Amino acid sequence: MLTNRAKLSREESLSDHLAAPRTAYVVGTFDTKAAELGFIRDRLVAANVPVRTIDLSTSGKESSADVTPREIAKHHPDGAGSVFTGDRGSSVAAMAIAFANWIEGQTEIGGLISAGGTGGTALATPAMRRLAIGIPKVMISTVASGNVAPYVGASDIMMMYSVTDVQGLNRISRTVLGNGANALAGALAFHDASGPSATADDKPAIGMTMFGVTTTAIQQISDDLADKFECLVFHATGVGGRSMEKLADSGMLSAVVDVTTTEVCDLFMGGVFAADEDRFGAFLRNKIPYVGSVGALDMVNFGAPNTVPEKYSGRTFVEHNPQVTLMRTTPEENTKMGAWIAERINQIAGPVRFFIPEGGVSAIDAPGQPFHDPQADSALFDAIRAGFVETDTHKLISLPHHINDPEFAAAVVAAVNELT
């Protein structure tokens, strides 16, 4: 039998183990950034954080890191020879692929931090995006003050602008790099490895897509489902849809209410809130209930009016605000989108209920509103009906209501309750 002192010692040891931070990965090109990355490593070690250094250099030089470039390069689908080509552009692209593949096999990773310019950022961030939401990720970069969408994507990467170039240690770089290391150390100290703020009392999470012109529908649906689900609403701005699908791929969603599929418009017509070709892909890969519709497929999003491509002159536009110009989709465009959506929906692995709101697909697609166009809507609906393959689990449901009508929301809620 343990004495009280022994019991206390054992409990303290267990408590210390549970509280101990998991390993921080310090990542970058050690052939050119060894001093800067070493500074980050030393700050983390000083904070009692276990550290592993990962070298993504493509120069072929000897490495002092814990994991060498040669070890990482082996994880490229075509082997290490595809990484060390002598051409910087192709080498960086190949090493990024290899590192993203390598990172998926690491089970002890607590968080990841890197520092660099465009090359270092391009090398590290694809792997960061492979990590689950909630695992701390810090990228210190010279490009963090510009368009970071290609680097961050749908992930929760924290990006810090380096101010000076990540070249040499000075009063500015030491401050920024130190802040980055401290941010990761703090995140690791408080990180819940069970997932993003999960508790035993949490309800299952359901993902929902919304645009300003479908807000009324989502508010009604989420209000009716709030007792059963934690409703996570995603703004359908391209990255919003990808964020929802990333959570689905990470096993964090129990179902989806994807009633606002407007990102497909921008994908087809070159708008600024475009989905990518993998739209709906998470639901092809995961058998979670899918309830969808055609919300805001009447509009393509551009920036200020002077940014609209010349080829679209003469079309119907609405200035949503000074920075967003909406363009009405045509029957021809809707036919193409409808066929593509039906093809993708047919491949969804889990149960499907897909709704067609015959009364209109957005707040400005209604009688008296600027995008009201029954012919264009009919082309969309007919294309979906023609391509949709109904099965025991996949159902297409047409309703004589507008997407923002209470009757439409009630039908969606009933479908969610049926499938869950």
| Domain range annotation of the chain | 21-190, 205-419
| Per-residue model confidence (pLDDT) at position 126 | 94
Matching residue, tokens 């679209």: 312
Q: Are 296 and 258 in contact (CB under 8 A)?
A: no
Give the CA angle between residues 127, 239, 293 to the nearest 5°.
130
Cβ atoms 201, 389 nearer than 8 A: no
Same fold across 21-190 and 205-419:
yes
Residue 120: its H or E element = helix 118-130
Query: Which amino acid is present at 369?
Result: Q
Q: Which residues contact 125 (CB under 8 A, 6 or more apart)?
A: 139, 151, 152, 153, 157
What are the pLDDT digits (tens) for 206-253?
999 999 999 999 999 999 999 999 999 999 999 899 999 989 998 889
* pLDDT, tens only, 390-419: 999 999 999 999 999 999 999 999 999 999
pLDDT at residue 180 tops 80: yes
Percent of the chain with pLDDT over 70: 93
User: What residues have CB less than 8 Å from 389, skipping those under 6 apart?
Assistant: 342, 346
Residue-by-residue DSSP string for 299-342:
EEEESSGGGS-GGGTTS-EEEEETTEEEEEPPHHHHHHHHHHHH
In this prediction, residue 197 carries a pLDDT of 54
DSSP three-state, residue 192: coil
What are the tens digits of pLDDT across the range 340-398?
999 999 999 999 999 999 999 999 999 999 999 999 999 999 999 999 999 999 999 99
pLDDT score recorded for residue 7: 34
Strand order of the β-sheet with 205-210 is 230-235, 205-210, 255-258, 290-292, 352-357, 394-399
Fold of the domain built from segment(s) 21-190: Rossmann fold (3.40.50)
Residue-averaged pLDDT of the chain:
90
Distance CA 305, CA 324 (A): 8
Residues near 253 by beta carbon (within 8 Å), at least 6 away in sequence: 205, 206, 207, 232, 244, 247, 288
CA atoms within 13 A on the CB side of 210: 17
SS3 47: coil
Q: Is the CA virtual torsion 113, 117, 121, 122 positive or negative? A: negative
pLDDT, tens digit (0-9, with 9 covering 90-100), for 264-293: 999 999 999 999 999 999 999 999 999 999
CATH top-level class for 205-419?
Answer: alpha beta
- Please check whether residue 279 is in contact with residue 341, taking contact to mean a CB–CB distance below 8 angstroms: no
**CA–CA distance, 158 with 87 (Å, rounded to integer):** 30
